[in-house]
Structure 1
Amino acid sequence: MITETVNAVIILVKGILIGFAVSAPMGPIGVLCVQKTINKGRFVGFVSGLGAASADSVYAIIAVFSLGFLQKFFTDNQFILQIVGICVLLFLGIKIFTTNQTKQIRKRARKKHSGVLEDFISVFFLTLSNPLTIIFFGASIAALGIFEYKHTFLTQVIIVLGVFLGASFWWFLLTGFVNLFRHKFRLKQLWWMNKISGGIIIILTLIAAVGMYLSGN
């Protein structure tokens, strides 16, 4: 009993490490959550991060439970999903770059937390549009030797739970750190932050598009 408990804790910790590692690289999703934290507050930024964590958990479920039909769907439609993700990210980058935050801040003063669910859903599907994430999970699970332990339904659930907790912890830390400096930003600085955030998202998305094109040739 004690051995099983220890193994469960070890598996949970490894799952947390995987979730943290997959979220930590500052790609377009990270920049987007930072921008939302600065413009809308920590709560909205964190909820947006939870959208990414939830999408990562979906891929963890696919990797851990080896759902063949879903793996086939994502593999067969990988190119289309990547195209959709790139188009949406480009749209978001341009929108952030061109948005007048002065007007939006005044609107939020009257309705502070509007659109939280929309932020969660949009980031969830944006993160889900990168099916290559499943390869990361598969490689990480193999590298950490998680299935050296007894392979049961419970261990699979623990891994997925760990991934979600690890990813959520990263977004909690990131949005908390950004929020410390949020109130030091004046409207002019927020305007520049939007230009920078939008520009970074556009550049990273274009780099991803070029990488996808080169890998296909």
Structure 2
Amino acid sequence: MSAPMAALLMGASVGLSIAAPIGPAAVLCIERTLAAGINQGLATGLGVATVHLAYGTLAVAGGVGLAQQWLNTPFVPILSGLVLLWFAVRVLRRGMIPAIRSEMPPTLASSYWGAVCFGLLNPTTPILFAAMVPALIGRGTVTLAPLLIAGIFIGSLAWWCALTGSISLMRSRMTARVLGLMNKTAGLALAGLAAAMIARAWSG
């Protein structure tokens, strides 16, 4: 295998391994897909993948430690938890799925930028990238760095496309009642994750 292809695949494996664990971002992506369809889910996933692209660039450049240090300050996890709690409250205040109620769903831009903002404030992301630094550093010449970074984005985006597509297929086979219950479950899960994040930051 050529060095460029190896670098691209290494980056893709890192991006996939960081995106795949089910956490707040995944729950948010699932909720958006259930609430408003595959396009909203993809926009959310693209936002998270963009954050992974940014942190991947920092990791390859050696600056992820600084980002991790800043995000580990007490106020950032609390702010991240509050943002996630705000998403959860919006979900739980809905009576039913917006598309079923014929309401205007959130725009693709708002879904994308909401995911970007939350992803940047999520303190777990730089920790995961810091753990992956040994796999990213020393993969060859500097000319291979763009391929590593591109691979991270491709691997992350591939996961979000697969997750959103799977949830969308399930959504098309569900009744309005089941969709509503699943949406509420996602909202409660988001609220629980937000509460845990705030409590953990508050307790130090």
Aligned to 2:178: 189
Q: How does 1:124-143 map to 2 (within 5 A)?
A: 124-142=116-134
CA pair 195-18 structure 1, distance change in 2 beyond 3 A: same
TM-score, reference length from structure 2: 0.89
Q: Could you tell me how far apart the structure 1 residues matched to 2:39 and 2:70 are?
A: 36
1:106-137 Cα shifts (integer Å, max 9, x gaps) = 335xx6x7511100000111011024422321
Instruction: State the AA in 2 paired with 1:147.
Output: I
- The answer to whether structure 1 residue 56 and structure 2 residue 52 are counterparts is yes
TM-score, reference length from structure 1: 0.84
Q: Aligned residues: percent identity? A: 25
Q: How does 1:108-187 map to 2 (within 5 A)?
A: 108=103, 115-142=107-134, 144=135, 146-152=136-142, 154-187=143-176
Aligned to 2:83: 88
The one of 10, 14, 18 equivalent to 2:14 is 18
The gaps in structure 2 that reach 5 residues or longer are none
SS of residue paired to 1:25: coil
Q: Which has the higher helix share?
A: 1
Q: Could you tell me how far apart the structure 1 residues matched to 2:70 and 2:16 are?
A: 28
Q: Could you tell me how far apart the structure 1 residues matched to 2:202 and 2:106 are?
A: 38
Q: Could you tell me how far apart the structure 2 residues matched to 1:87 and 1:182 are?
A: 28
Which deviates more, 73-82 or 172-181?
Answer: 73-82
1:125-162 Cα shifts (integer Å, max 9, x gaps) = 101102442232132130x3x4333230x222111111
Instruction: Name the Cα RMSD after superposition.
Output: 2.2
Question: Which runs of 4 or more aligned residues in structure 1 lie more than 4 Å from their structure 2 counterparts after TM superposition?
Answer: none
Aligned to 2:70: 76
The gaps in structure 1 that reach 5 residues or longer are none
Q: Could you tell me how far apart the structure 2 residues matched to 1:76 and 1:44 are?
A: 30
Deviation at 1:102, TM superposition (A): 5.2
- The answer to whether structure 1 residue 206 and structure 2 residue 195 are counterparts is yes
Instruction: State the AA in 2 paired with 1:121.
Output: W
Q: How does 1:12-51 map to 2 (within 5 A)?
A: 12-51=8-47
For the pair shown, the structure with the greater C-alpha radius of gyration is 1
Q: Is the 8 A contact 1:56 1:128 kept in 2?
A: no
CA pair 98-141 structure 1, distance change in 2 beyond 3 A: same
Aligned residues: 203
Instruction: State the AA in 2 paired with 1:9.
Output: M
Deviation at 1:211, TM superposition (A): 2.9
Q: Could you tell me how far apart the structure 2 residues matched to 1:148 and 1:95 are?
A: 45
Aligned to 2:61: 65
